[in-house]
Amino acid sequence: MLDLLLNNAHLVWRGLSVTIGASALVIAAGTLGGLFGGLALLYAPLPLRLLMRVYVDTIRGIPLLVLIFSVFYGLPALGLPISGFVAAALALAIFGTAHVSEVVRGAVDSIPEGQTEAAKSIGLTFYKRLRYVIFPQALSRAIPPWTNTAVELVKASSLLALVSIVDLLYSTEQIAARTRQPLLFYGVAALLYFSINYSLSRLGARIEKKFTYSS
Amino acid sequence: MYHLNWRPVFQNFDLLWHGILLGLGLAFLSLAIGCVIGLLAAFARVYGGRKIRALVTAYTEFVRNIPLLLIIYFVFYGLGIMGFHLLNNVWSFVLALSVYSGAYLAEVFRAGIMSVPAGLTEAGKAIGLTPRKTMQFVTLPLTFRIVLPSLSNTFISLFKDTSLAAAISVPELTYGAMVINTNTWRILEVYTTVAVMYLITCYVLAGLLRLLERKYAMVR
Amino acid sequence: MMGEKVVLIEKLEKSFGDFQVLKGIDLAVDQGDVMAIIGPSGSGKTTLLRCINFLQPYDRGKVYIDGELVGYREDNGRLIKRPESAIARQRAKVGMVFQQFNLFPHMTALENVTLGLVQVKGLSREESVEIGRNWLSKVGLSDKLDAYPSALSGGQQQRVGIARAVAVEPKVVLFDEVTSALDPELVGEVLSVMKSLAEDYHMTMLVVTHEMLFAKEVANRVVFMDEGIVMEDGSPATILGNPATERLQTFLRRFEQIL
């Protein structure tokens, strides 16, 4: 059994690097997009706010798989020459942005109204209020749900296998079918996913500790 | 130029309709089994000894950090080989989704049990209820009322997760979309329709569940 | 046995971690006694009550209800904890009314009262409803049988709590500062129910309270606790009118207006 593992290790590694790469990319894109999206949900003029709201609620109201298929098969059908990986990653990024937008909105909303009032009363402008009072406090509140979203995105990257992108799950499927050892290889894949996500969660907890002020 | 042609979608609408019903059924069944698993796990974590607590925590932590699709493949391809050929694709999916939701629900129920006010279980004890009866008449009914909002959210999530059953050819809504697409290549029309169907269903479910919550959920 | 004390407490001790709350309590309660337990906060009054019905296990000493050792059984001089189901049976003989009411929010007032009758005393549903109705009307809530606790005022909730405790006919009823969480205008209705329990039904009652007038007018014994021990124990006239110890005199000074 050990030699089976060793013989296929390079394939597992290749899939794993695609998974890690795609996840990192999507988490970064989603976080950036979500930051702007959250701000839009909170402070943009009404039309844009409504648009964002519809966007977030729609994305969160449909299964991710449907979103991936729509983008992956739909964009080329419309004539856009987009590679499979980019299409799938785009779908995941759209998904991530919607979730992070909601995380940002929730974190800022959870700050008591009194903080904004106190900041206004000492004469801070809107931008300065956000920068010095609201966002520092929102940051620590946003980290746990952000970490959850990041973990969800890593797990979501496994759906890339369903559009034939050679990620960890796809590679595992192939190896398991070829070697007739599904339990072994799915088990290994599970451990790998677990390690990535568990480390992410721990990292998130550490970062949160650094940024939390006791009030 | 892409010309929209909705007819193939509507001609095959029964496929989609049955798919949604199957999806709801799968979600409901998995929620039910997941609740049993979650309740048992929560009991183990609240009332059990150190070893069983560690075991259950390991289970929940592990399952919550791996992809659902992986669990589905593990059950369908992995257990299939081990001789569990009793499990066809539908039941494999139900098992996978139940195990997955059980891990989440374990935490939901654990938090629920812990937030039943201590004074109420004491009042139960004070009138002479045995531990079993205190659980039956006080702790459990109150736990369910407390966790009802979380259960509702979980059910809606599970319904969306049933889309992954398409990966092992279970004829739910997303699989129906894939079939129609393969036969007619009306990609935009099919997936738009399916997306709208999911949205409407989730919206209706949320509304119905909110009505249920209004009647039963604990208002503190 | 004749002349059995309803509650007998011998050298009761209880600590929470390093802090010893009860430092050796000796107390005997006769049938029909209405005993007011007074004292400053932190003196251990609530802990004492909670040890009597074993909501809190005690460390040393003995508590007897109707001659039976509560919570433990003796084996060659060692105290061995009884199983939970046996303790439940013992608790059925002791009623408790809580400061925070602790009514079951998912049950109506009537259901709160009948739960113990059906599930602990094993009475039929019809009998239980009959008894429950009776007690709820005795506490003045005959029109609130089907109301949920959230629809009741604090005073009404507490009266349901009293009905719930006494409906199962316990040997003794424990009252743990039952009016402290009430708005002042609701205190009176609860105290008059308690007075009626004492005078009309001759129930044995242990009442931890700050209501000195109640202690003076309704109780037949007053016990003053401070720092985990019983400092004084006697009739209301003696304890409240003629305090012997310095501590009790200091404590009573804040109630001068009332007494």
Distance in angstroms (rounded) separating the CA atoms of residues C259 and C248: 14
Contact across the interface for B125 and C98, Cβ inside 8 Å: no
Residues above pLDDT 70, as percent of chain C: 99
Distance in angstroms (rounded) separating the CA atoms of residues A89 and A57: 20
**pLDDT value of residue B187:** 87
Confidence of residue C50 (pLDDT cuts 50, 70, 90): very high
Q: Which residue among B117, B128, B145 sits closest to C88, beta carbon to beta carbon?
A: B128
**pLDDT value of residue B81:** 63
Which residue stretches of B48-79 are H helix?
Answer: 50-64, 68-73
State whether residue A179 sits within 8 Å of chain B by CB: no
The chain-wide mean pLDDT, for chain B, equals 91
CA-based nearest distance A121→chain B, Å: 34
Q: Collect all residues of chain A within an 8 Å Cβ-Cβ radius of residue B158.
A: none
CA-based nearest distance A43→chain B, Å: 26
Distance in angstroms (rounded) separating the CA atoms of residues C61 and C79: 9
Mean pLDDT of all residues in A156-172: 94
Mean pLDDT of all residues in A5-10: 88
Question: Are 3 or more Cβ–Cβ pairs between A and C shorter than 8 Å?
Answer: no
Residue in this structure with the two tokens 């929209």, named with its chain if needed = B4
CA-based nearest distance A194→chain B, Å: 5
**pLDDT value of residue C177:** 95
Among the residue ranges B1-15, B75-89, B172-186, the one predicted with the least confidence is: B75-89
Q: Which residue of B has its CA nearest to A76?
A: B187
Q: Which residue of C has its CA nearest to B142?
A: C106
Among candidates A144, A163, A189, A149, which has minimal Cα distance to A12? A189
State whether residue B18 sits within 8 Å of chain C by CB: no
In this structure, chain A runs to a length of 215
State whether residue B47 sits within 8 Å of chain C by CB: no
DSSP-derived pairing of the beta strands C60-65 and C229-234: unpaired
State whether residue A49 sits within 8 Å of chain B by CB: no
Q: Which structural domains are found in chain A, ordered by start?
A: 2-214 (1.10.3720.10)
CA angle, C82 as apex, C81 and C83 as ends, to 5°?
A: 120
Distance in angstroms (rounded) separating the CA atoms of residues B188 and B2: 9
The token pair that represents A193 in the structure block = 């996913």
Q: Collect all residues of chain C within an 8 Å Cβ-Cβ radius of residue B124.
A: 104
Task: Enumerate residues 70 to 129 of chain B having a beta carbon within 8 A of any beta carbon in chain C.
Answer: 117, 119-120, 122-129
Task: Enumerate residues 68 to 127 of chain A having a beta carbon within 8 A of any beta carbon in chain B.
Answer: 69-70, 73-74, 77-79
Among the residue ranges A16-25, A104-113, B82-91, C137-146, the one predicted with the least confidence is: B82-91
Q: Which residue of B has its CA nearest to C166?
A: B127
The token pair that represents A163 in the structure block = 């559009």
Mean pLDDT of all residues in B114-136: 95
**pLDDT value of residue B220:** 42
Does residue A129 have a pLDDT over 90? no
Residues above pLDDT 90, as percent of chain C: 88
Distance in angstroms (rounded) separating the CA atoms of residues A143 and A206: 10
Contact across the interface for C116 and B145, Cβ inside 8 Å: no
Residue in this structure with the two tokens 């409906």, named with its chain if needed = C167
State whether residue B183 sits within 8 Å of chain A by CB: no
Considering only residues B43 and A81, tell me which one the structure prediction assigns the higher pLDDT. B43
Q: Which residue among C53, C84, C102 sits closest to B130, beta carbon to beta carbon?
A: C84
In DSSP terms, C74 is beta-bridged to: C79
Are C259 and C252 contacting, i.e. CB atoms less than 8 angstroms apart?
A: yes
Mean pLDDT of all residues in C53-73: 93
CA distances from C92 to B149, C49, C54, C232 (A): 35, 15, 11, 30
Does residue A140 have a pLDDT over 90? no
**pLDDT value of residue C49:** 95
Among candidates A176, A179, A142, which has minimal Cα distance to A42? A142
| DSSP annotation of C82 | P
Q: Collect all residues of chain B within an 8 Å Cβ-Cβ radius of residue C93.
A: 128
Burial of C137 (0-12, 13-18, 19+ CB in 10 A): middle
The pTM of the full predicted model, rounded to 2 decimals, is: 0.85
Confidence of residue A77 (pLDDT cuts 50, 70, 90): confident
Question: Which H or E run includes A203?
Answer: helix A182-211
CA-based nearest distance A130→chain B, Å: 32
**pLDDT value of residue B86:** 61
Mean pLDDT of all residues in A166-175: 94
Does residue B208 have a pLDDT over 70? yes
CA angle, A107 as apex, A103 and A113 as ends, to 5°?
A: 150
Backbone angles phi, psi at C179, to 5 degrees: -105, 0
Considering only residues B220 and C179, tell me which one the structure prediction assigns the higher pLDDT. C179
Task: Enumerate residues 123 to 152 of chain B having a beta carbon within 8 A of any beta carbon in chain C.
Answer: 123-131, 133, 137-138, 141-142, 145
Does residue A105 have a pLDDT over 60? yes
Q: At B61, which amino acid appears? A: E
Beta-carbon contacts of residue C92 (< 8 Å; ≥ 6 apart): B127, B128, C116, C120, C121, C168, C170
Confidence of residue A215 (pLDDT cuts 50, 70, 90): very low
Q: Which residue among A62, A172, A182 sits closest to B81, beta carbon to beta carbon?
A: A182
Distance in angstroms (rounded) separating the CA atoms of residues B217 and B211: 10
Does residue B158 have a pLDDT over 90? yes
- pLDDT per position as a tens digit, B90-111: 999 999 999 999 999 999 999 9
**pLDDT value of residue B78:** 82
Beta-carbon contacts of residue C236 (< 8 Å; ≥ 6 apart): C36, C215, C216, C217, C219, C220, C221, C222
